[in-house]
Structure 1
Amino acid sequence: MMLRIKPMYLKPLLLALSSGLLLAACSKPAPEQAATEQSSEDVKESHIWPKLTLPVPQDLAMEQSITALLAEMTLQQKIAQMIQPEIRDISVEDMRKYGFGSYLNGGGAFPNDDKYATPADWIALADALYQASIDDSLDGSRIPTMWGTDAVHGHNNVIGATIFPHNIGLGAANNPALIEQIAKVTAREVMVTGIDWVFAPTVAVVRDDRWGRTYEGYSEQPKIVHDYAAAIVTGLQGAAGENFLGDEQVISTVKHFVGDGGTTGGVDQGNTEVTEQQLFDIHAQGYVGGLQAGAQSVMASFNSWNGSKVHGNKHLLTDVLKDRMGFDGFIVGDWNGHGQIPGCTNDNCPQAANAGLDIYMVPTQAWKPLYYNLIAQVEAGDISMARIDDAVRRILRVKKRAGLFDKASPAKRPLAGKTELIGSAEHRAVARDAVRQSLVLLKNTNQLLPLNPGQRLLVTGPGADNIGQQAGGWTISWQGTGNNNADFPGGSSIYAGIKRQVEAAGGSVELSSDGSYQQKPDAAIVVFGEEPYAEGNGDIDNLEYQRGNKTDLALLKQLKADGIPVVSLFISGRPMWVNPELNASDAFVAIWLPGSEGEGVADVILTNADGSPQYDFHGKLSFSWPASPQQTVVNVGDANYQPLLPYGFGLRYGESNVLNADLPEQIEQTTQLSDLVIFERAPRSPWQLQLQSGTENAAVVSSIQQLGAISSRTFDKDVQEDARRFELDGSSNAALAFISTFPRDLRAYTETDSQLTLLVKRLGDIPANVTLSMACGNNCGGKVNISKALTSMPEDAWQPLAVSLSCLQQQGMNLRQVSKVLAIETSGALTLSLADARISPVTNNTELSAVACQ
């Protein structure tokens, strides 16, 4: 049977398909077809992409040895090379049995699940898994495995490692030679722990600073990203022909291919809506630089390009990257990114291989069914053996180039176990220099900076003595949270660095958490800014700092009222609207996320004993600074480019201020807030529909699905399959819920009267307790009983239902971190259909009568 779709419904359906949550009801496309589907707006223009001359030519003898090895390998051994599980989900025996081609540790994963695992523990695990991989007693294979890790600003998962400034600060330094030096240090510290492969550099060109990964981008300017990609790849791997991938080098990964920094609204893992020419000109320059430096792996991106998930986009992965640009290394997926392709799940996705993915990154226990499914799909002809052989050839080629077939086991390599290199004085000196070069001076009234260390100084603010906050996300833990100063042995907080230099100069320094002091200081240094976050947890909906809770501004004003000159040191992963904080500061420095070597800040803001600067400011803005909270997309070269401070801005000592002392602090809403659609024909990204029964939950991936006490099926209300019917049988507590992988910032809806509005239809009796809720984490949220409202509705008729957000907030709902935007739950029997769900400002529609707040 052929599925017919009216033209007027084609684009909404394609958008729904791109979210990975709506499946075709009548037939499933063949893997090759699904992998190559593009939206009707895409025009494939491979000629836009350059044919690159890559620095590592193929070696005929190596290729012949790979051909011979492929001829000996079983299908099972080949598929194992394409599977990358995570250390929390496999054992040494699993490695011996399956012979995985690679494995990884995700953010916050450690040997023995121990955050305080020593370098010796890391080496021991690396050696055990390596030895198991070359043990052919069970799988018949002696191909060495390789370990990949997110060493994105130093070897940041390991206690005691040197933590460098995040990329946004390094971009402000605009010094490729420094970047290469940082990469060399990172490679050495990684090699000490026996790891072969680093998931860096990130070469995103960020267009919307609301994105939670903005700090992982070097710049909004593609040229800096291009040059830095080449520098960091060279530093990690070595230059081609010059000890390339030798004993002190690791395999690098340019990521995330492609367009991750360009998603609409700055939504993580969202949709990048640009032409192919723009995709190349803006978002691909890091790949040009990285590949021309010899990068051996590329990571596919979570994002979609014009509605097509990149993990399943054959045009980009194969036609462009491999065929046109000539990349002959391997493409690795991101964390279960293949499972987001329409028609795929984490454990079943031939489409990704057919599109050109070579290694499936498959954390969780999904690796095992994926392994067996891929074998079955090759045997059934859904994936060709030629595609498998190409993927495995690429993996083996990189392993041979990296010498993994010839090197000793991880514990016996030249740098293994040389723990004195981790966080060594030499390495920390590089990081401290990077801090100095990254700082950007935005304001310096009456040349307050640099401060004489012989004075009486107050250091205050939540970030003053907090290495975890200054290091940011991707530091020990995934989000960078839960760390204290003791977790950074050898590091220095900003306060500690200032204290050491002030006391050495004969001055005095007082640390205060709240701005109080024993003696009135000559100047106050206030360290404040964003709390750590990573990926989508950092997504926000506008750039106002401390929106709705301006405690740091109150601290600045308190000090100013006392007549104390104020120096603000602003920690952030992106430019933010801080006009009130700028007005309340005499000097203001963007210090970004400087990492473990906080004393680098003191080197710049304090003078020598004779009053001369130790170091002048070097950094220049690599991201434009916004003039309003809503100016989230402001990039040099824009047609109407009017930032508060432009790209490339940064004062030196002695230069005059350009900022007025009375910057506007009133926030003007320039556009009317629109509805936030949660469900309209299908779940709207980023919301995913989930069924919950008892303690079990499952994402809805089919038109008909059941989980324990709850079932769901699509049906036609106005058009094909535009509504869902949920039947809860009462055998256990059950719920339908719309969740997001990452919490979403919906505070804009608190600034106007807004309601959560649904269009529902009920059948049969209604239990006495049916709750509608929103959640912002464990034990955080609000709920109301909608039983009476449902009972009062006529049966089998569509009716609106509304709940005021203010009601949910009164019960503890925090719209800054919305993880579950809507849930309907009961322990009784209930049949309820849903056709629409959204958050609506009441000014946008006729206000509905809301359910009474309990």
Structure 2
Amino acid sequence: MKLTQLSCFSIVKTPTKIGSIALGVLLGLSGCGDKKTTHELVTEVAMTPVAANNSVSSSLTIWPELTPAIAKDPVLEAKIQALVAKMTLQQKVAQMIQPEIRDITVEDMRQYGFGSYLNGGGAYPNNDKHATPADWIALAESFYQASVDDSVDGINIPTMWGTDAVHGHNNVIGATLFPHNIGLGAANNPKLIEKIAAITAQEVMVTGIDWVFAPTVAVVRDDRWGRTYEGYSEDPRIVKDYAYAIVEGLQGAVTGDFLSDQHVISTVKHFIGDGGTENGIDQGENLASEQDLYDIHAQGYVGGLNAGAQSVMASFNSWHGVKNHGNQYLLTDVLKDRLGFDGFVVGDWNGHGQVAGCTNESCAQSVNAGLDIFMVPTAAWKPLYENTIAQVNNGEISQARIDDAVSRILRVKFRAGLFDKPSPANRPLSGKTELIGQARHREVARQAVRESLVLLKNNQSLLPLKPNTKVLVAGDAADNIGKQSGGWTITWQGTDNKNSDFPGATSIYSGIEQLVTQGGGQAILSTTGEFSPEQKPDVAIVVFGEEPYAEGNGDIDNVEYQRGDKRDLALLKKLKAQGIPVVSVFISGRPMWVNPEFNQSDAFVAAWLPGSEGQGIADVLFTKPDGSVAYDFVGKLSFSWPSTPQQTQVNVPLAQDKIAQAQADYQPLIPYGYGLTYQSASTDAIALDTLSEDNFSASQTLENLALFERAVKSPWSMYIATNNARQGLSSSVASNSALNIRTMDRVVQEDARLVSFTGSEQGTVGLISNFPRDFRAYSNSDSALSVSIKTEQLLQKPLWLGLACEGDCRQQVDIAKQANTTLGKWQNISISLACFAGKPMDFGKIIIPFYLTTDAKVDISFSDVVIQATPSEKTIRCH
């Protein structure tokens, strides 16, 4: 069986924002013409509607009736009402449109008067990653002045800039970067969280920005989720307390300096249930009962709203088949009416386009459901603006709903003082660059690093180490500030950063080196653990862990660390074999199955993603010069640690105040709340020396994975492509210059597709996800890609069946010979996944799990695209 790769299949890396679409794979699979990123294509795709599960009963009595933290001011409400009455429909809809800085000009702002705008992750003024605070201020000032220029639209409502400052002002070079939320959860210190939020607000305001998209209050239920590190804990009680603390830190206390010139508008996100999707798939389906939706997933909103949060961001996920961006029950009946929220609801990155019946350019359903602001990056903002106006004029959206949305936006702007404050360049903190990364801020971050560390193993009290020790510091995370900071760090994914991109920060190694040198010892840096005989160390500190990722790019299908590539384990074994005591410092965005690494470590520290102040780790690992403890470990696991790679949903029982160890279904390797200190007795420690290293891959039971069976299965979407154009399918019939496609009935209504290739050029039909998906469990077993197919004419040219992964990689197999064996009749063609293996294929990051492409003139029908866990005897094998 011949395999081939097409040379023109390439990747376009375009920075994009949180919460939505993966970058990467181009969909004109055989062409070299005009190309779009996956982000651009998927936002064109109308998501397959999923009917709501009518068996789920809704009961508003589950939800508490909250009293708004800020009482409505009749004088302010009259002012809002008077302003709304003066506004034209065009001006009102403009308040509801939030474009991105790469997609609008100052003149666009002057003409339309957008209510807000944002910078996505990896978006900077002048498209310059190293833009200075002055550059950020200049952009904020220019957009602000354009928004209040009434010479074009006759109104001067100030705009506001929103940014993802999720662990400090993480888009700006030199800012203080705090540990990601998972580490802060281990610290369990709400007062510290409030300080962190207040510092973040200050550094944000230095650059003239008004509004922060934080905190994330997801309660994570499945650690395969790529956003696990954005959750503080699997325990909603911690999340509730932290939500209150961070909102108060960002916005100020309602009874104090609320939204003063020292504070920013906060956003509690993502409403609701994003941490509880099936199989941990980002933007996926949450099937929790309504009681669990409140008890588990809503507690952060209770905390945040009680602190006076002024905005809430809708989530990409669905709840029982209904996308949250279009769920009126959740956005209006629950959030606004029952929970008493009188601020505004902002969407996530083109999230409205995923609502059934919507596109990025048109979605009356979201407005009617209760969305107040469309987050609409790319050029889609203009048709969305025009279509929304038309939908009000034709009655699809009521004028009352528009007025309510605009009133909410104006209410927040008035409360934040935007009508009275000076322009961004003239505010009290603006331009005070000495605040960005200042020593006082970094000291708080350093404290947060110390308190986030969790000591999981400490045989023979190896730790703390004395500073006059000869220390080998090894591992590829030892001197890598980008890796220790994780995703959402300067760039969206946290990748492509160098230590020089972090002025003022310290790597973990540099913190160790400084402390040890001052203490009379020696620190030797060797990523690979090499040293000369005269340099043989007394101890090795090995710093290793996950590569940075954000959102769905971090989704995995089990939690085994370095599955199939145990290079860090090999390093630990090499050092142990030389009789060197090993301290492992594990960098990760989630708890992972590291049994082999535990076995090779004398001490093991979960360091999570500590951020820019790496020296905080040295503070805890080493004593004072006199041998006394400098800082003890105080961190405790806020996530249970898995006992197998497949134990991805292991959450502490919430029915009791204490962990129910006897409860049969709660059997983690290390329980929630665990963490040793230097005072811990040996009897307090869990034995982590002779753990099973069986990853159960051989006995893992895999089920068939349906990709297209009666309908396209979530999270996949269908597309067609030529050499020069791609499009998502939004109706039962579509065409381009290379093919025509329509739905057809094979067994039941519209359970198959008929594709008529014209033969004039290469045409492609396939399935795509908005983020790469992990297929390693299938590729490591005897699995196959199966499709039912019917060919009407004899193929004289290749018909390629293929898969593609994120990055410049794809593999395909010519199935023309098999297709020709039975003309005019359905047959099943099954190809072993081994046929698609080999470089550069990466089954851990599949973005397109199926495509057919040909330049032959032929009619082909297909249905039932499945990854078969147990292939049939007729499966084609390539070796």
If the TM-score is normalised by the length of the shorter chain, which range does it land in? over 0.9
> Which of 587, 590, 603 is residue 587 of structure 1 equivalent to?
603
Instruction: Tell me if structure 2 keeps the 8 A contact 1:783–1:811.
Output: no
Aligned to 1:610, what secondary structure does the other structure show? coil
Residue 718 of structure 2 corresponds to 689
Q: Which amino acid in 2 is paired with 1:643? A: P
> Which of 821, 830, 833 is residue 849 of structure 2 equivalent to?
821
Residue 295 of structure 1 corresponds to 309
- The one-character-per-residue Cα deviations of 1:665-709 (angstroms, maximum 9, x if unpaired) are 112256520011111011111111111112211111211112332
Distance in 1 (CA, whole Å) between partners of 2:873 and 2:578 is: 48
Residue 644 of structure 1 corresponds to 669
1:850 aligned onto 2:866: no
Residue 636 of structure 2 corresponds to 620
- The one-character-per-residue Cα deviations of 1:768-793 (angstroms, maximum 9, x if unpaired) are 1221111113421211112222222x
Residue 463 of structure 1 corresponds to 477
How far is the alpha carbon of 1:460 from its aligned partner? 0.5
Residue 27 of structure 2 corresponds to none
Which structure 2 residues correspond to residues 261-272 of structure 1 after superposition, within 5 A?
A: 261-272=275-286
> Which of 507, 523, 540 is residue 493 of structure 1 equivalent to?
507
Instruction: Tell me if structure 2 keeps the 8 A contact 1:543–1:632.
Output: yes
CA change 1:77–1:807 in 2 (3 A) is same
Distance in 1 (CA, whole Å) between partners of 2:556 and 2:223 is: 9
Distance in 1 (CA, whole Å) between partners of 2:171 and 2:812 is: 38
Instruction: Tell me if structure 2 keeps the 8 A contact 1:148–1:197.
Output: yes
Unaligned runs of 5+ in 1: 1-18, 25-36
Aligned to 2:269, what secondary structure does the other structure show? strand
> Which of 418, 421, 444 is residue 407 of structure 1 equivalent to?
421
Task: Say which is worse superposed, 509-518 or 289-298, in terms of deviation.
Answer: 509-518
Aligned to 2:563, what secondary structure does the other structure show? coil
Q: Which amino acid in 2 is paired with 1:411? A: A
Distance in 1 (CA, whole Å) between partners of 2:873 and 2:554 is: 32
Instruction: Tell me if structure 1 keeps the 8 A contact 2:46–2:728.
Output: no
Instruction: Tell me if structure 1 keeps the 8 A contact 2:797–2:855.
Output: no
Residue 347 of structure 1 corresponds to 361
Distance in 2 (CA, whole Å) between partners of 1:811 and 1:158 is: 36
Residue 661 of structure 1 corresponds to 689
Distance in 2 (CA, whole Å) between partners of 1:828 and 1:125 is: 52
1:57 aligned onto 2:83: no
Instruction: Tell me if structure 1 keeps the 8 A contact 2:705–2:869.
Output: no
Residue 285 of structure 1 corresponds to 299
1:379 aligned onto 2:393: yes
Residue 523 of structure 2 corresponds to 509
Distance in 1 (CA, whole Å) between partners of 2:515 and 2:722 is: 60
How far is the alpha carbon of 1:767 from its aligned partner? 4.1
Instruction: Tell me if structure 1 keeps the 8 A contact 2:835–2:877.
Output: no
Residue 833 of structure 1 corresponds to 861
CA change 1:680–1:709 in 2 (3 A) is same
Aligned to 1:527, what secondary structure does the other structure show? strand
How far is the alpha carbon of 1:658 from its aligned partner? 1.6
Distance in 2 (CA, whole Å) between partners of 1:567 and 1:654 is: 18
Instruction: Tell me if structure 2 keeps the 8 A contact 1:789–1:851.
Output: no
Residue 429 of structure 1 corresponds to 443
Aligned to 1:744, what secondary structure does the other structure show? coil
Instruction: Tell me if structure 2 keeps the 8 A contact 1:742–1:819.
Output: yes
Aligned length: 820
Identity of aligned residues (%): 62
- The one-character-per-residue Cα deviations of 1:393-439 (angstroms, maximum 9, x if unpaired) are 00000000000011111000000000010000010001000000000
Residue 834 of structure 2 corresponds to 806
Distance in 2 (CA, whole Å) between partners of 1:767 and 1:352 is: 48
Task: Say which is worse superposed, 552-561 or 53-62, in terms of deviation.
Answer: 53-62
Which structure 2 residues correspond to residues 159-170 of structure 1 after superposition, within 5 A?
A: 159-170=173-184
Residue 48 of structure 2 corresponds to 22
Distance in 2 (CA, whole Å) between partners of 1:304 and 1:847 is: 38
Task: Say which is worse superposed, 425-434 or 832-841, in terms of deviation.
Answer: 832-841
RCO (CA 8 Å, sep 6+): is it higher in 1 or 2? 2
How far is the alpha carbon of 1:89 from its aligned partner? 0.5
1:712 aligned onto 2:728: no
Residue 569 of structure 1 corresponds to 585
Distance in 2 (CA, whole Å) between partners of 1:329 and 1:789 is: 60
Instruction: Tell me if structure 2 keeps the 8 A contact 1:621–1:650.
Output: yes
Residue 607 of structure 1 corresponds to 623
Instruction: Tell me if structure 2 keeps the 8 A contact 1:171–1:622.
Output: yes
Aligned to 2:844, what secondary structure does the other structure show? coil
Residue 808 of structure 2 corresponds to 779
> Which of 534, 541, 551 is residue 525 of structure 1 equivalent to?
541
- The one-character-per-residue Cα deviations of 1:164-201 (angstroms, maximum 9, x if unpaired) are 00000000000000000000000000000000000000
Instruction: Tell me if structure 2 keeps the 8 A contact 1:461–1:552.
Output: yes
Instruction: Tell me if structure 1 keeps the 8 A contact 2:457–2:688.
Output: no
Distance in 1 (CA, whole Å) between partners of 2:88 and 2:236 is: 44
Residue 161 of structure 2 corresponds to 147
Which structure 2 residues correspond to residues 435-450 of structure 1 after superposition, within 5 A?
A: 435-450=449-464
Distance in 1 (CA, whole Å) between partners of 2:369 and 2:74 is: 27
Q: Which amino acid in 1 is paired with 2:593? A: W
Q: Which amino acid in 2 is paired with 1:662? A: T
Distance in 1 (CA, whole Å) between partners of 2:648 and 2:719 is: 31
Aligned to 1:249, what secondary structure does the other structure show? coil
Instruction: Tell me if structure 1 keeps the 8 A contact 2:68–2:342.
Output: no
How far is the alpha carbon of 1:664 from its aligned partner? 0.7
1:171 aligned onto 2:185: yes
CA change 1:23–1:580 in 2 (3 A) is closer
Residue 194 of structure 2 corresponds to 180
Task: Say which is worse superposed, 282-291 or 808-817, in terms of deviation.
Answer: 808-817
- The one-character-per-residue Cα deviations of 1:625-662 (angstroms, maximum 9, x if unpaired) are 00110100000017510001000000001422322410
CA change 1:572–1:66 in 2 (3 A) is same
Q: Which amino acid in 2 is paired with 1:576? A: M
Aligned to 1:469, what secondary structure does the other structure show? helix
Residue 762 of structure 2 corresponds to 733
1:392 aligned onto 2:406: yes
Q: Which amino acid in 2 is paired with 1:768? A: K
> Which of 779, 795, 798 is residue 823 of structure 2 equivalent to?
795
Distance in 2 (CA, whole Å) between partners of 1:708 and 1:363 is: 29
1:553 aligned onto 2:569: yes
Instruction: Tell me if structure 2 keeps the 8 A contact 1:168–1:574.
Output: yes
Distance in 2 (CA, whole Å) between partners of 1:831 and 1:395 is: 53
Q: Which amino acid in 2 is paired with 1:448? A: L
Q: Which amino acid in 1 is paired with 2:830? A: A
Distance in 2 (CA, whole Å) between partners of 1:822 and 1:269 is: 21
Q: Which amino acid in 1 is paired with 2:435? A: L
Distance in 2 (CA, whole Å) between partners of 1:660 and 1:619 is: 18
How far is the alpha carbon of 1:20 from its aligned partner? 5.1
How far is the alpha carbon of 1:763 from its aligned partner? 1.5
TM-score by length of 1: 0.95
Task: Say which is worse superposed, 764-773 or 608-617, in terms of deviation.
Answer: 764-773
1:81 aligned onto 2:95: yes
Unaligned runs of 5+ in 2: 1-44, 655-662
Instruction: Tell me if structure 1 keeps the 8 A contact 2:46–2:729.
Output: no
Task: Say which is worse superposed, 812-821 or 526-535, in terms of deviation.
Answer: 812-821
CA change 1:48–1:153 in 2 (3 A) is same
How far is the alpha carbon of 1:820 from its aligned partner? 1.1
1:333 aligned onto 2:347: yes
Q: Which amino acid in 1 is paired with 2:620? A: V
Task: Say which is worse superposed, 821-830 or 339-348, in terms of deviation.
Answer: 821-830
